[in-house]
């Protein structure tokens, strides 16, 4: 028998639940959804090389994680329960100073494995040694937008080297010619990148027609420091430098004011809500979802890195988002389950320009099957309610990205090798740094 993980095959998923009704889904060899609907079996069973029995499963578009630092899986559980600045300066940065390209490769493979096992088919990543991250993503079969985290701290020499590093990385990704992997410009944040650096990133991304990935107004201090230094809030600085575009994903956005939410809508910026990380590091304010929504701005969902979450499970993130919004803004009607699911699928897919984020003929076949004969899905009064509030990523049975099966009945190729390689890389990293 052919190995279902080894390449794209014409596939037929039969009797799966789509929008609460049974349907068959045919996936062509190019990785697109060829047809979706009732009774396709007769028509496509001959053409399909594999048939996946979807009975007892819900089909969903693959989830999209719009803000993470994938290789930080190696730092999972290394330091928790600390003040943000102490956590960074005493624990995270000293360890990261010893990172190698190989560490990033193993950490990113582990992240991809975890995402595949929890139903995520695309992610937006910012870190270092990104060519090694790209190598991992290419092997794992998932989709990603990758960027080199650009930090100059106002130093012109450092800025030059960051510009060159960004150019080199973008041309490397182009040379891979892999439709699943894209590059973005990654100015880390308005407080770590000079205005000149921000302007360069904005120009470069425009010229190269690539995305921008940035952290925005995560803490109150960033906002007050910006006002003290520039006489302007961070979002105004970003707008002045041309960073706010429809190709931009802005992570966190906890401290946006109402006018900034309207500006995000006008500029077409995609906000990435990162509720678990924000709660863990106590940013003391939740992203103002209600203002963003009222303004018509795009809102997506991300886990942030594994040292501040500590997992990459987008099912848990949907629940955290919905609960944090209700709790912080004191409104139980805010961010209802269907909107959380839209953020994690449709909106995320648009943000990364990876297709429609829907299950429809002609769309890329990024599909996850979620088991219904499980405690978390029994009874099934309301699929979306269970998916957002009751399930975690462990309920995902099968993950398909660009038509390739990456997980079948919870089996992923090379899982044990990835777990032991990543565990060893993490152990060696800690040894080297102490």
- Interface residues with Zn ion (CB under 5 A) are 304
Cβ-based burial of 231 (10 A; exposed 0-12, middle 13-18, buried ≥19): exposed
Taking the least distance from each CB to Zn ion, the nearer of 92 and 405 is: 92
- Would you call 18 helix, strand, or coil by DSSP? strand
Q: Rounded to the nearest whole angstrom, what is the least distance from the CB of residue 160 to Zn ion in the complex? A: 25
Q: Rounded to the nearest whole angstrom, what is the least distance from the CB of residue 298 to Zn ion in the complex? A: 18
Sheet holding 248-252, edge to edge: 63-68, 120-127, 143-148, 181-185, 211-216, 248-252, 270-273, 298-301
Q: Rounded to the nearest whole angstrom, what is the least distance from the CB of residue 30 to Zn ion in the complex? A: 34
Q: Which residues contact 118 (CB under 8 A, 6 or more apart)?
A: 63, 311, 312, 313, 314, 315, 392, 393, 394, 396
Taking the least distance from each CB to Zn ion, the nearer of 124 and 345 is: 124
Please, which contacts does 308-312 make with residues 24 or more away whose CB atoms are closer than 8 Å? 308/276, 308/277, 308/280, 308/281, 309/276, 309/277, 309/280, 310/76, 310/77, 310/80, 311/76, 311/114, 311/118, 312/65, 312/68, 312/70, 312/73, 312/111, 312/114, 312/115, 312/118, 312/120, 312/123
Torsions phi, psi for 82 (to 5 deg): -125, 165
Can you tell me the distance from the alpha carbon of 130 to that of 71, in angstroms, rounded to the nearest whole number?
10
Pairing of strands 57-61, 50-53: unpaired
Rounded alpha-carbon distances, angstroms, from residue 266 to 245, 257, 425, 431: 9, 15, 44, 49
Q: Rounded to the nearest whole angstrom, what is the least distance from the CB of residue 205 to Zn ion in the complex? A: 18
Q: Rounded to the nearest whole angstrom, what is the least distance from the CB of residue 67 to Zn ion in the complex? A: 6
Q: What is the largest CA-CA distance in the chain?
A: 68
Taking the least distance from each CB to Zn ion, the nearer of 304 and 339 is: 304
Report the residue number whose CB is nearest to Zn ion: 304
Q: Rounded to the nearest whole angstrom, what is the least distance from the CB of residue 262 to Zn ion in the complex? A: 24
Taking the least distance from each CB to Zn ion, the nearer of 214 and 369 is: 214
Alpha helices for 141-183 (secondary structure H): 156-176
Taking the least distance from each CB to Zn ion, the nearer of 304 and 366 is: 304
Q: Rounded to the nearest whole angstrom, what is the least distance from the CB of residue 1 to Zn ion in the complex? A: 42
Can you tell me the distance from the alpha carbon of 383 to that of 68, in angstroms, rounded to the nearest whole number?
27
Q: What angle do CA 305, 119, 25 make, to 5 degrees?
A: 155
Taking the least distance from each CB to Zn ion, the nearer of 186 and 242 is: 186
Taking the least distance from each CB to Zn ion, the nearer of 96 and 304 is: 304
Q: Rounded to the nearest whole angstrom, what is the least distance from the CB of residue 304 to Zn ion in the complex? A: 5
Answer for the pair 192, 151: CB distance below 8 angstroms, yes or no.
yes
Taking the least distance from each CB to Zn ion, the nearer of 66 and 342 is: 66
Q: Rounded to the nearest whole angstrom, what is the least distance from the CB of residue 215 to Zn ion in the complex? A: 5
Q: Rounded to the nearest whole angstrom, what is the least distance from the CB of residue 274 to Zn ion in the complex? A: 7
Rounded alpha-carbon distances, angstroms, from residue 306 to 86, 110, 222, 299: 17, 11, 22, 21
Q: Rounded to the nearest whole angstrom, what is the least distance from the CB of residue 337 to Zn ion in the complex? A: 26
Taking the least distance from each CB to Zn ion, the nearer of 226 and 402 is: 226
Taking the least distance from each CB to Zn ion, the nearer of 28 and 304 is: 304
Taking the least distance from each CB to Zn ion, the nearer of 14 and 308 is: 308
Residue of 178, 197, 179 lying closest to 188 (CA atoms): 197
């Amino acid at each position: 028998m052919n190995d279902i993980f080894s390449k794209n095959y014409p596939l037929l998923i039969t009797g799966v639940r789509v929008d609460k009704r049974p349907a068959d889904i045919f996936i062509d060899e190019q990785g697109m959804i060829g047809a979706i609907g009732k009774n396709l079996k007769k028509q496509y069973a001959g053409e399909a090389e594999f048939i996946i029995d979807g009975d007892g499963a819900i089909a969903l578009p693959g989830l999209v994680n719009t803000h993470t630092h994938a290789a930080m899986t190696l730092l999972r559980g290394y330091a928790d329960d600390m003040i943000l600045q102490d956590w960074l300066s005493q624990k995270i940065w000293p360890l990261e100073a010893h990172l190698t390209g190989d560490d990033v490769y193993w950490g990113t493979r582990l992240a991809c494995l975890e995402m595949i096992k929890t139903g995520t088919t695309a992610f937006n990543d910012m870190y270092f040694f990104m060519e090694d991250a790209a190598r991992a993503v290419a092997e794992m079969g998932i989709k990603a937008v990758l960027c080199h985290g650009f930090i100059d701290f106002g130093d012109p020499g450092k800025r030059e080297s960051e510009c060159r590093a960004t150019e080199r990385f973008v041309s490397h990704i182009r040379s891979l010619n892999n439709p699943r992997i894209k590059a973005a410009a990654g100015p880390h944040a308005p407080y770590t990148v000079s205005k000149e650096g921000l302007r360069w990133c904005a120009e470069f991304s425009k010229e190269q027609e690539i995305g921008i990935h940035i952290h925005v107004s995560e803490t109150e201090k960033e906002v007050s420091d910006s006002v003290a230094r520039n006489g302007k809030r961070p979002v105004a600085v970003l707008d002045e430098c041309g960073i706010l575009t429809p190709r931009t994903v802005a992570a966190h956005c906890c401290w946006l004011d109402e006018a900034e939410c309207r500006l995000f809508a006008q500029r077409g910026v995609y906000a990435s809500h990162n509720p678990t990380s924000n709660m863990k590091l106590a940013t003391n304010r939740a992203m103002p979802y209600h203002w963003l929504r009222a303004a018509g701005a795009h809102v997506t969902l991300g886990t942030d890195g594994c040292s501040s979450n500590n997992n990459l499970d987008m099912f848990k993130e949907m629940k955290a988002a919905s609960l944090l919004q209700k709790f912080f803004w004191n409104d139980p009607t805010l961010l209802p389950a269907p909107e959380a699911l839209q953020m994690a699928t449709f909106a995320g897919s648009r943000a990364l320009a990876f297709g429609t984020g829907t299950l429809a003929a002609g769309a890329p076949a990024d599909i996850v099957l979620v088991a219904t004969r499980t405690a978390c899905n029994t009874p099934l009064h309301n699929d979306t309610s269970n998916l957002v509030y009751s399930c975690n990523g462990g309920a995902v049975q099968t993950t398909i990205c660009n038509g390739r099966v990456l997980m079948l009945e919870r089996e992923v190729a090379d899982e044990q090798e990835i777990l032991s390689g990543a565990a060893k890389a993490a152990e060696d990293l800690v040894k080297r740094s102490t």
